[in-house]
Structure 1
Amino acid sequence: MYHVLIVDDHVDQREFLQFLLNNHPTSFQITEATNGKDALALFSKETFDFIITDVKMPFLSGIEFAEALRQKNIQIPILFISGYDDFNYVKKALTLQAIDYLLKPINPAEFNQQIDSLIQRSNQKKVQQQHLIDVEQLQTQKTITNLLHGIPFTELKHYEQTLLQTVFKEPFFVFLIESEPEQITELVQFLTSKNSKQWLHHRVSSSRIILFYLTQSLSVALNNIQLIEQHLDLNSANHHTMERSDLINKPDDLYAAYQVLETQLAHRFYEQSPNLTLAATLPTTSPTNELKVTQKIKEILHQSDLNALKLQIATLLNLYRNAAYESPMLTKFFFATLFKTILETSDFVLESQQSQLHQLLQVKKFSEIAPFFDDLLQKIAKRQAIIDDESNDYVREAKKYILNYYNQELNLETIARTINISPKYLSDLFIREEGIGISKYLKQVRMEKAQELLQHTTLRVGEISDQVGFSSHSYFIRNFRELFQMTPDAYRKMKRQVNK
């Protein structure tokens, strides 16, 4: 619907224009004014898509009204209507970027054509305005990011300083909220829909958002953040954590305030001060390091070495506890991923598995993470003891050897010789216990490793073929296609699209 302002000092003319608009295919919200002076006053409290105005009116003519709008930098399409065929009026109207100049009596067909032109011009104007808004918002977000990364305000470009001074035109409070990515995304959508001039928001990461509230009153800010927290609680059962700054008088102080909030958030979770030296060694500092830890966990599980697994988990827990630095949400995600990796790699079915993962992500203190792993490892150890009693030692040793040396040239004879058993006897034992032959098991292990490398590295297919133990690249590709019904390159492309 388009908001139209009709300006004319004759009531019958206004009614006729309304009649024509109501018979147009487009829907309109219509506001009226009897002269240019009254019409100009309306712009202090309303916005319009276009104007239809008479030229000659008391107090302020249509031409003077249009000039006043231009002086206020209000760019809006205008259709002038007059009973005077005066060239000077027409010339003046065109200099004011009028769509057209219609003479009374109005021809309905011509009027509808001009309305279509007004709608088109209005749509173009909205697109241009939205583009300018988008560009400004993007630049604002980029500039705030620079500040949060420690670039001093005085070293920002002049237009960036001006932009921040315009955005933060009054003192403000900062609220740092950390939660699950889906909840942060939903909050961004909620804040965007509200379009409040008091609230500004900046998404720091997938699990963090900063809210700026422009006010000097702490009580006003707290009342409003309470409404946002209520929205979060109503729309998600997931836990969120929040810290608030003191009053900030100028954007120059934003970086220091954010550092304080980060420290407060971490201290609440870890219950101790950060160690920056240890923080630099955390696996979550890079995706590559995270992948290495995950692969290490899988290798330990394939070797059925529960003591090594317990030691690895304990080492990681101690490292994160003593560093006391990483984002609490990222830390919870990291350990939840390890928890899930242990379950999937060990083929261990845990009752209420999803519930356990959900609870792990909701812990409020770092100390609450360890019990999840203690309980899981105890259950896996109990199951392993049962399996060990029933499994054949030769088969277990053969599998362990394959998992350790799958990237080398292996065959039944080599494996049998290593564990001091005849190839025929080992083959029969393996098929009886595992349901497949050793060659097929070796191929499965190699293909699983190839899947991991395709998904998590940028190695070429030929390099991956070498790393998983295939001497022929074409043989590797053929086997991969037979097992997964697609080429290695197609598999990598599919996984990247899924993970976007």
Structure 2
Amino acid sequence: MIIKVGDMYRILIVDDEKLERNGIKFLLKKTGTELEVFEASNGRDALELLKHQTVEILLTDIKMPYVSGLELAEKVSSQYPEMKIVMFSGYSDFSYAQTAIRYGVSDYILKPVDPLEFQKTMKKLLEEIEREKAEEVQQIKTQDYLYQFFLQNYLYGGKVDIEEMKRNLDFQQYHYMVLIQTSSSFFEMEEEIFKEKLKEEIRRDFFYLNLNAGEGLFFFKEKHSDYALLCREIYQFFKLRYNTECLLAVSEELKSFEELPAVFGALEMVLEDQFYQPEKHIFSLKENEDRETNAALGDAELLKRILEDIHHRDMGHLKNILSS
């Protein structure tokens, strides 16, 4: 994956002669593109720097101490295959160029470097990186849309190939679902902006499924987390940042992919008609199940007392129970 700092690409210049590195930096400034430039005086230092610093383009001399440019190119193309490599050399021997290409070098420029040739090479590489980045973003979006389409169809009871979905969606990594309903058409807003802002606010990643204009479903990876607290943070995010009221229902821990439709249905039932309880905004399946269990236990206890009074012919007590 290509990583940028804002709109700035990162470039590493490797040459054992400082004068040569300064010359390359001067030519880079002439490109008119904002770049973050790093330097190393040999291949060994360059490899050490790359362990801690991501760069998009490597500009390296071929003849250096410790680790040559060809050795560096071989290691870089193996460890960082997405990186573009440009090699400078005073050797016009075609065999060097052949070896460089075999090691994944994008371009081979003879010294002394011709400024116009250098500018053309850099323009071509930067355009290539931009194109690859755009293709990558489009591929991710397309894949995400497919995930959302098939998952939504599955949750609402559509016929899907479950095994194929499990392979592609990899939902074993998600352990909790949170269903959010808003009183407005909040989820019609720009999806990417909203998602990134929420991730920054709650400091965790999630998978988001847009169900409709007023409903969104969120999948979280954390197995051991305070989801009541998380839901309060999300509620405050909606209320304070977007002035939007919302209701949230959190599932219990997900046990399998096959149970997703049933859990989703239970979350929807929990939130049904809850807008008539303005004092409460956060609900959970566990809380709902506990309440239903307690109600069932209460009914059982009442029935037990009625049967005891009938058995003992205590009509007065029975009358009190039935009227209470």
CA contact (8 A) 2:154 2:261 kept: yes
Counterpart for residue 231 of structure 1: 237
- Answer 1 or 2: higher relative contact order, Cα 8 Å, separation at least 6: 2
Alignment of 1:15-414 (within 5 A): 15-40=22-47, 42=49, 45-72=52-79, 74-150=81-157, 155-156=161-162, 158=164, 160-165=165-170, 168=171, 170-186=173-189, 188=191, 189-192=193-196, 198-219=205-226, 221=227, 223-266=229-272, 268-269=274-275
Q: Does 1:4 align with 2:11?
A: yes
Deviation at 1:171, TM superposition (A): 3.9
Deviation at 1:156, TM superposition (A): 2.8
- What amino acid maps onto 1:107 in structure 2? D
Q: Give the Cα–Cα distance (whole angstroms) in 1 for the partners of residues 265 and 195 of structure 2.
A: 24
TM-score by length of 2: 0.71
CA contact (8 A) 1:5 1:33 kept: yes
Q: Give the Cα–Cα distance (whole angstroms) in 1 for the partners of residues 145 and 33 of structure 2.
A: 34
State the identity %: 27
Q: Give the Cα–Cα distance (whole angstroms) in 2 for the partners of residues 151 and 46 of structure 1.
A: 46
Answer 1 or 2: which has greater strand percent: 2
CA contact (8 A) 1:9 1:57 kept: yes
The number of aligned residues is: 270
Deviation at 1:229, TM superposition (A): 2.5
The structure-2 alpha-carbon separation of the partners of 1:61 and 1:147, relative to structure 1 and needing over 3 Å to count, comes to farther
Q: Give the Cα–Cα distance (whole angstroms) in 1 for the partners of residues 175 and 213 of structure 2.
A: 24
Moved more, 200-209 or 133-142: 133-142
CA contact (8 A) 1:4 1:30 kept: yes
- What amino acid maps onto 1:172 in structure 2? H
CA contact (8 A) 1:184 1:206 kept: yes
- What amino acid maps onto 1:232 in structure 2? F
Deviation at 1:263, TM superposition (A): 1.5
TM-align CA RMSD: 3.2
The structure-2 alpha-carbon separation of the partners of 1:17 and 1:163, relative to structure 1 and needing over 3 Å to count, comes to same
- What amino acid maps onto 1:248 in structure 2? L
Deviation at 1:28, TM superposition (A): 0.9
The structure-2 alpha-carbon separation of the partners of 1:260 and 1:234, relative to structure 1 and needing over 3 Å to count, comes to same
Q: Give the Cα–Cα distance (whole angstroms) in 2 for the partners of residues 115 and 61 of structure 1.
A: 22
- What amino acid maps onto 1:161 in structure 2? K
1:357-396 deviation per Cα after TM superposition (whole angstroms, max 9, x unaligned): xxxxx8989xxxxxxxxxxxxxxxxxxxxxxxxxxxxxxx
Q: Give the Cα–Cα distance (whole angstroms) in 1 for the partners of residues 269 and 260 of structure 2.
A: 14
Q: Give the Cα–Cα distance (whole angstroms) in 2 for the partners of residues 252 and 44 of structure 1.
A: 42
1:381-417 deviation per Cα after TM superposition (whole angstroms, max 9, x unaligned): xxxxxxxxxxxxxxxxxxxxxxxxxxxxxxxxxxxxx
Q: Which runs of 5+ in 1 are unaligned?
A: 272-361, 366-500
Deviation at 1:50, TM superposition (A): 2.2
Which has the greater radius of gyration?
Answer: 1
Structure 1 runs, 4 residues or longer, greater than 6 Å off: 194-197, 362-365
Q: Which runs of 5+ in 2 are unaligned?
A: 1-7, 282-324
TM-score by length of 1: 0.48
- What amino acid maps onto 1:255 in structure 2? P
Deviation at 1:162, TM superposition (A): 2.0
